[in-house]
Structure 1
Amino acid sequence: MTGLQDLASARPSWSVVLVFYLRVMSLLLIGGGVIHWARIVGLTPWRGLMFWDMPTEWQAAIIFFAVLDLVAAIGLWLAVSWGTVMWLFRAISQIVMHTLFSDVYGRRPYEIAFYLLTIAIYLILIYLMERENRTN
């Protein structure tokens, strides 16, 4: 039993875990932003179409997420509040895009589930961090 207690006491604080989580999310957003910019400059197609051949709605979404991904990534890496707001705005925008506007952008249930899961993990980490801060 002392092994579990030692393990629990050696765990980093929840605020450290939260910053680590935000930085992992930041790296994912950097990757997504780079992919979006690769589509814009013509390095890679999306659903078999080059950027200039896509419908205007897709072009607008790609530009929107190309900018938003990199801005949110910087904010998440720095662990500042606006970064979290930008990331949550980005995730919710993606969820709305693939639910309410699925006739234009397609239905992507795995992507929606991913965003909901990442938001849930973030909220759980915030709760655990606040609870830990109240007890100290």
Structure 2
Amino acid sequence: MAADSVHVPKPSLSETVFGLFLRLVSISCFWFGLGYWAMLIGFSLGGQGRFDLLSLPWRAAATTLAVVYPVAALGLWLLVSWGPVLWVVAAAVEITMFEVYPQIFGSRPFLFTLHLAVAATFVIFRAAIAYQRSRQARAARIDLP
């Protein structure tokens, strides 16, 4: 390496674990997306969830989630900023489906709990990383002459 190369700081343990967490969420998003695709093409639910057999609300919601979940999975896997944003969109759609309109979509209380746990874990990780970076920045200012 040249002496004038840019020094890239080594990621902290919390940043590394946060990246692993995002990749695990990415795998689950991809799994949920595959589940919606399997339903829409008639592979699951004994063919009862095929797109042409669904009601209009289910068509809109299932096709939206079948597209948003895999794209969110890609963003989460690549650790880019739009990945969590798309996950929030997908989670909001599912929470709205199953908590606000249970008469149309049914009820899945465990799904709400799962999304809430992932969101809380995400916020805790982001807060820990922000605190760690502020401490490092403060230490760097104190050490300067």
Q: Scaled by the length of structure 2, what TM-score is found? A: 0.79
Letter in 2 for 1:57: P
2:15 pairs with 1:15: yes
The amino acid that maps onto 1:135 is: R
- Counterpart of 1:70? 70
Q: How does 1:24-35 map to 2 (within 5 A)?
A: 24-35=24-35
Match in the other structure for 2:9:
none
Unmatched 5+ residue regions in structure 1?
1-11
Question: Residue 50 of structure 1 corresponds to which residue in structure 2?
Answer: 49
Count of aligned positions? 124
> Residue 34 of structure 1: CA displacement?
1.2
Q: CA RMSD in A?
A: 1.5
Larger radius of gyration: 2
List gaps (5 residues or longer) in structure 2: 1-11, 137-145
C-alpha distance in structure 2 between counterparts of 1:29 and 1:100, whole Å: 22
Give distance in 1, aligned partners of 2:101 and 2:33: 22
- Deviations along 1:9-65, whole A, 9 cap, x unmatched? xxx52111111111000000111111211122221127x723122222112211111
TM-score (norm 1): 0.84
Equivalent position amino acid for 2:24 in 1: V
Instruction: Tell me whether 1:130 sits opposite 2:130 in the alignment.
Output: yes
Deviates more, 1:69-78 or 1:105-114: 105-114
Partner of 1:4: none
- CA distance in 1 between partners of 2:45 and 2:109 (Å): 22
Runs of 4+ in 1 over 4 A off after TM superposition: none
What letter matches 1:16 in structure 2?
T
Q: Say yes or no: does 1:100 pair with 2:106.
A: no
Contact 1:19-1:79 within 8 A present in 2 as well: yes
Q: Check whether the contact 2:61–2:93 (CA below 8 A) recurs between aligned residues.
A: no
Highest relative contact order (Cα 8 Å, sep 6+), 1 or 2?
A: 1
